[in-house]
Amino acid sequence: MRHGKRFNHLSRTSSHRKLMLSNMASSLILNKKIETTLAKAKALRKYVEPLITKSKSDTTHSRRSVFSYLQNKDSVNELFGGISEKIAARPGGYTRIIKTGSRLGDNADMCIIELVDYNNLMLSDKPLKATKTRRRRKKKKTNQDVLLSSKKSSKSSKKSTKKNDESKSK
């Protein structure tokens, strides 16, 4: 039965799960994007989004409470420095999960989890469009056009053969 199961245990002990999520959250904050399994990414999203929300208020208490989860000074400084400024106006939904397919070894669903405000391709001002080239439709050849082009080509071939003959005779 599933009574009282509020989150995915990821087949790990409590201490292993906490440290793994802490390390993954630090990596996500420092690198802005990581590749992992879908189950871990969903667990990480529930773990890291409240921490990002706490980073909006830069107080000593919020820094200490976030540090108790992350245990990494560099990631805490990055979170309260660069990331909190960029996400200040966003009311939630700081991460995005993009499915990338299955892993070869065990067929696990893989994905990329990233911070939403740091994807440069999706944030660009100009939408990336494929450049279109203008092509004219070729005119259908009529019988007269075919006859004229064949006459021209035969005349030019006769001239070239005459020149070749003259050059050989000299």
pLDDT digits 0-9 by tens, 126-161: 555 666 667 777 666 666 666 666 666 666 655 555
pLDDT at 7: 87
- 74: in domain: yes
* CATH code at position 87: 3.90.1030.10
For residue 51, give its domain range: 14-123
Q: Which stretches of 70-137 are assigned E, i.e. beta strand?
A: 95-102, 109-115
pLDDT at 146: 65
Q: What are residue 33's phi and psi, to 5 degrees?
A: -160, 135
- 100: in domain: yes
Q: Are 92 and 52 in contact (CB under 8 A)?
A: no
* pLDDT tens readout for residues 6-17: 889 999 999 999
Instruction: State the chain's mean pLDDT as an integer.
Output: 86
State how far the Cα of 105 lies from the Cα of 71, in Å rounded to an integer.
Answer: 32
48: burial class by Cβ within 10 Å (0-12, 13-18, 19+)? Answer: buried
Whether pLDDT at 44 is above 90: yes
- 92: in domain: yes
- Candidates 95, 98, 109; CA nearest to 46 is 95
- 65: in domain: yes
Overall number of domains in the chain: 1
User: Mean pLDDT throughout 32-51?
Assistant: 96
- 33: in domain: yes
What percentage of the chain has pLDDT greater than the value 70?
A: 74
- 46: in domain: yes
State how far the Cα of 72 lies from the Cα of 26, in Å rounded to an integer.
Answer: 7
User: Mean pLDDT throughout 34-62?
Assistant: 96
- 170: in domain: no
Handedness of CA 12, 17, 23, 25 (dihedral sign): positive
* pLDDT tens readout for residues 100-131: 999 999 999 999 999 999 887 776 655 556 66
pLDDT at 169: 59
How many CB atoms are closer than 10 A to CB 19? 13
- Token readout for 131 is 């450049």
Whose tokens are 């630090």? That residue is 26
pLDDT at 129: 61
pLDDT at 163: 57
**Listing from the earlier edge strand, what are the strands of the sheet with 109-115?**
33-37, 109-115, 95-102
Whether pLDDT at 5 is above 70: yes
DSSP SS3 for 72: coil
- 136: in domain: no
Q: Are 79 and 69 in contact (CB under 8 A)?
A: no
